[in-house]
Amino acid sequence: MGAYYQYLVAFAAGVGGLLFGYEIGVIGQVLSMNSFAAYFGYRYKNAAGDYKDCTPDEYFTGCTSYAEDTTGWVTFTFLIGCVGGALIVSMMADALGRKYSILLGGLLFTIGGVLQSVANGLGVFYPGRVVGGIGVGIMSMSVPLYISETSPTAIRGRLTTVYQLMITIGIFIASVINSIIITVVDNASDTEWRLALGVQMIPGAILFVIMFFMPFSPRWLINRDRDSEALAILARLRNLPESDPAVAAEFKDIRDSVHEEREIGQASWPELFAPGIGKRTFLGFFLQFFQQWTGINVILYYQSDLFARMGIDKKAADIPFTLANNFINFVATFPGMYLIERVGRRKLLIWGGIMMGVAHCLVCLFFGLSQQTSALSWLAIVSVYIFLFGFASTWGPIVWTYQSEIFPMRVRAKGTGVATMSNWTWNAVIAKVTPKIIARINFYNYLVFAAACFIMATFTYVFVPETMGKSLEEMDEIFGAPEGAAEKKSKA
Ligand code: BGC
């Protein structure tokens, strides 16, 4: 199968990212569908035949909830599931293994999709959101980890970015499928939203099936004393015979380091803050914190509304502009994949932060000016696209790569779990507070994100060391050996 096997493994597991992306891409559009809103009672049809949101001031007999309430809960229940999924998997990933964790994530995501698409009320819909969210939370932590542990050092960064590439493909596919559904299916029938949400079961089921055929992570196998299996898988992944000196050397390095770490004993949660590890936990947490404060999901969740407020016709904002936005998000991942093993993680994070900061300032400027001179709205839109390019080629892929490579084996599941929970928690917080901020300061909210982007570029400059070209076993050289390991080494 050649070196392609390596890529096949990364793309197969990457389907987990595609599910994550599909969810991000689909939910905003579903929430704005009249069919969905009327079914769950937060929109009603008035005497003139127009749909209106149910608000405390306009509460009609057809209303069973308020628009802001229900849409908030639909987003929130999913994100809470994601945080829970990341927590669960950080406790279980060592026992269950990366491969089975991904399988479990795919299964839960599919069950969540079934519940959401057949729901006859919020009592079924919300639990469906939580279950689907748990699935995505599990996958978002275990997929990059699995890819990172099966990859060779020289292309580990590139292969891990496959995860982000698949997220962006998922977002794009969701917007294409939704655009077709919105155009073709009767907008008053509940088939519209059921279909949009039901489609996600297909990639969910695909992931579940293909992961059965994917190998276990060699590092995880060695940790379970299944050395001969680990050696065979490593050789297959590297497309070399088991007897090849390069395979033998890599196998020995992994085994020595896994055994050394095992001798120190089971990792506890407080150890995440111990010398040698604390800095990695700090970086994992804050890189994900900053990744969310780029404002990426505010752009993605509310993009059609954003383009409409910039003066674009609602239909155009809903379909072509949203499609273009999601397409740029996908295509711009490629420069990141190319540069990550040439320029490195650190420089890309610094440049990306600066580029996104400048783009946000331009969005604010042209958005403001377009309120007076509508001809300027296209400049505001181009600025949004520049921001997206900056995100998709730097902070989008690199943060997931970085968190999956910095932790030593013993604490890898817990450390990446904390970083992943940080991603989902900030995602939830920002989704909740942004509509309120926008209501108060309108387009000036882009200056808040611009400031965050400049701060994250500075943060990277000061705190984030380069990891390009280092094997997972060599990370101690960069961050310092964990306490127990250092003592052992000095005794040896
Ligand atoms: C982020 C998500 C975001 C996506 C967009 C991911 O790296 O973690 O929050 O929606 O990129 O492509």
Give alpha helix (H) positions in 151-217: 156-184, 191-198, 201-212
CA of 296 to the centre of ligand 1 (A): 7
The pLDDT score that the predictor gives to residue 484 is 59
Minimal CA–CA distance to 18: which of 124, 105, 96?
Answer: 105
Q: How far is the CA of 148 from the centre of ligand 1 (A)?
A: 18
Mean pLDDT of 254-273: 84
Ligand 1 atom closest to the Cα of residue 396 is 7
Q: Which amino acid is at 58?
A: E
pLDDT for the residue numbered 42: 82
Neighbours of 354 (CB within 10 A): 17
224 alpha carbon – ligand 1 mean position (Å): 33
Cβ 474 vs Cβ 266: under 8 Å: no
Rounded to a whole number of angstroms, the distance between the first and last alpha carbons of the chain is 42
Rounded average pLDDT over 278-294: 97
Distance of CA 424 from the midpoint of ligand 1 (Å): 10
Residue 279 has pLDDT above 90, yes or no: yes
**H-helix or E-strand spanning residue 287:** helix 278-293
Name which residue sits closest to atom 10 of ligand 1, judged by CA.
297
**Å from CA of 290 to ligand 1 middle:** 12
Q: Whose CA is nearest to atom 1 of ligand 1?
A: 396
CA of 41 to the centre of ligand 1 (A): 30
Lowest mean pLDDT segment, chosen from 242-246, 377-381, 432-436: 432-436
**For the segment 385-397, what is each residue's pLDDT rounded down to a tens digit?**
999 999 999 999 9
Measured in whole angstroms, the distance separating CA 225 from the mean position of its chain's CA atoms is: 32
Are 140 and 88 a contacting pair, CB within 8 Å? Answer: no
Average pLDDT of the segment spanning 311-330: 86
pLDDT number for residue 60: 65
Give the model's pLDDT for residue 58. 62
For residues 14 and 8, give the distance between their C-alpha atoms in angstroms, rounded to a whole number: 9
Per-residue model confidence (pLDDT) at position 366: 92
For residue 419, report the distance from its CA to the centre of ligand 1, in Å. 14
Q: Which residue from 18, 19, 23, 24 has its CB within 8 A of the most atoms of ligand 1, so it is best to mutate?
A: 24
SS3 244: coil
pLDDT at 398: 96
pLDDT, residue 485, reads: 54
The ligand 1 atom at the shortest distance from the C-alpha of residue 24 is: 10
Ligand 1 shell residues, CB under 6 Å: 24, 164, 167-168, 171, 291, 296-297, 300, 329, 396, 423, 427
What is the pLDDT, as a whole number, of residue 243? 93
Mean pLDDT computed over every residue of the chain: 89
CA atoms within 13 A on the CB side of 358: 9
Q: What is the mean predicted confidence (pLDDT) over 253-269?
A: 83
Contact predicate 239/3, CB 8 Å: yes
Closest protein CA for atom 6 of ligand 1? 396
Reply yes or no on whether the pLDDT at 490 is more than 50. Answer: no
What integer is the mean pLDDT of 273-284?
94
Mean pLDDT of 405-426: 92
Atom of ligand 1 nearest to the CA of 427: 9
Average pLDDT of the residues in 142-152: 91
pLDDT for residue 62: 72
> What's the pLDDT at 413?
87
* 226 Cα to the center of ligand 1, angstroms: 35
% pLDDT > 70, the chain: 96
pLDDT at residue 214, as a whole number: 95
Lowest-pLDDT range, 255-259, 349-353, 394-398? Answer: 255-259
Angle at 446 between CA 444 and CA 450, to 5 degrees: 125
Name which residue leads in pLDDT, 269 or 116: 116
- Among 155-169, 224-238, 255-269, which stretch is predicted with the lowest mean pLDDT? 255-269
Which residue has 């969005």 as its token pair?
363
Residue 492, pLDDT score:
40
State pLDDT tens for residues 37-86. Answer: 889 888 888 777 788 888 777 666 678 877 777 888 898 899 999 999 99
CA of 73 to the centre of ligand 1 (A): 20
Q: How far is the CA of 207 from the centre of ligand 1 (A)?
A: 20
Q: Which is higher by pLDDT, 381 or 52?
A: 381
Cα 216 to ligand 1 centre (Å): 26
Pocket test for ligand 1, best of 291, 294, 456 (most atoms within 8 A of CB): 291
For the CA of 399, the nearest atom of ligand 1: 7
Which atom in ligand 1 lies closest to the alpha carbon of residue 423? 8
Mutate to test the pocket of ligand 1, among 164, 288, 387 (most ligand atoms within 8 A of CB): 164
Q: Are 425 and 76 in contact (CB under 8 A)?
A: no
Output 455 or 32, whichever has higher pLDDT.
455
Angle at alpha carbon of residue 464, lines to 462 and 469, rounded to 5°: 140
52 backbone dihedrals φ, ψ, rounded to 5°: -130, 140
Q: Torsions phi, psi of 43, nearest 5?
A: -145, 150
